[in-house]
Amino acid sequence: MSVTARGSLAEALSLRGIRLTRQRRLLLEVLDNAPGHLNARELLQAARRTDPTIDRATVYRTLHLLKTGGLVDELDLLHLEGEEHYYERRRTGDHVHLGCPQCGTISEFETDLVLELSQEVARREGFTATGIRIEVRGICKACSEAQVG
């Protein structure tokens, strides 16, 4: 489980003089092994199952660090429910999030259009993208079939 990720993490952080603490390792491990997208509260709860002393403030401080360092992406999944943000490990391939307000499901979608967009932004605007967030709201397949069916 995520040994490589842990390796790259140590690299990525220690190079910048950022310490790899027990808590940071734990939080990234939780994010790696999480089935879906976690918000800060859920991340804290999950981490506390391993280390009951870890604090809310540490979670927020670590998330900030990981966001800035490009290791984690922050999403709001269109705030389909609540105002919290959600977090996921940054992967190699960018992806789009599809949210269906009707059933509350979030699904993921990969497409070359994400890359195309960052290229077009660079070409036409001179803007060098470092991160892209695409979130689509709409009616998912299951919901639209259930409605007409």
Query: Applying CB under 8 A, which residues contact its own copies?
Result: 74, 76, 78-79, 85, 96, 98, 100, 107, 109, 111, 113, 116-118, 120-121, 124-141, 144-145
Binding partner of residue 102 among DNA, its own copies, Zn ion, none, CB under 5 to 8 Å per kind?
Zn ion
Report CA torsion sign: 42, 47, 51, 55. Answer: negative
Under rule CB under 5 A, which residues in 83-122 are in contact with Mn ion?
A: 88, 108
Ramachandran region, residue 12 (left: φ > 0; alpha: ψ -120 to 50; beta: rest): alpha
| Residues contacting residue 91 through CB under 8 Å, at least 6 positions apart | none
Answer with the entry of Mn ion, its own copies, Zn ion, none that 128 interacts with (C-beta below 5 to 8 A by kind): its own copies
CA separation for the pair 134, 13 (Å, rounded): 27
**Contacted by 1, from its own copies, Zn ion, DNA, none: CB < 5 to 8 Å by type:** none
